[in-house]
């Protein structure tokens, strides 16, 4: 996954969201959220068949685990319209997890095949 960028949907300008930091909002459930766009890199291990409508689980699940976040909005309409750009809202109960996630902006996050069915992830 590459070309991570901050995405600010219109819904963040409603009464259901309170700005909690640069690119970070607190929703009415008390979760901290942010939205990002990124591209699947079909040249990378696990992402060969990935697209905005069907994001590859490798390395996406590792991204969620590494930053201790979950997907809170998939932006179905935006992902359905796009051939390349993936739109996702990420959430956590802790603002520090979202702050850490935002450090991925401008970087790549991908899996490297170690052989024998194992892989490791790289952020650069």
Average pLDDT over residues 92-103: 99
Write down the pLDDT at residue 28: 97
Over the stretch 17-61, which tens digit does the pLDDT of each residue have? 999 999 999 999 999 999 999 999 989 998 988 889 999 889 999
Give 117's pLDDT tier (boundaries 50, 70, 90): confident
The count of C-alpha atoms lying within 13 angstroms of the C-alpha of 62, restricted to the half-sphere facing its C-beta, is 18
Residue 82, domain extent: 2-123
Contacts 24+ apart (CB under 8 A), 111-118: 111/44, 111/45, 111/46, 111/47, 111/58, 111/59, 111/62, 112/45, 113/45
Rounded Cα distance, 74 and 69, in Å = 14
Q: What is the CA radius of gyration of the chain?
A: 15
The number of folded domains in the chain is 1
Over the stretch 52-70, which tens digit does the pLDDT of each residue have? 999 988 999 999 999 999 9
């Amino acid at each position: 996954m590459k070309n991570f960028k901050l995405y600010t949907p219109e819904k963040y300008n409603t009464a259901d969201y309170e700005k909690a930091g640069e690119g970070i909002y607190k929703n009415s459930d008390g979760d901290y959220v942010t939205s990002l766009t990124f591209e699947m890199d079909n040249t990378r291990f696990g992402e060969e068949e990935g697209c905005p409508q069907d994001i590859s689980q490798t390395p996406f699940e590792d991204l969620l685990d590494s930053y201790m976040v979950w997907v809170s909005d998939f932006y179905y309409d935006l992902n359905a319209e796009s051939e390349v750009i993936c739109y996702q809202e990420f959430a956590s109960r802790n603002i520090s997890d979202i702050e850490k996630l935002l450090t991925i902006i401008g970087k790549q996050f991908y899996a490297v095949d170690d052989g024998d069915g194992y892989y490791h992830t790289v952020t650069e």
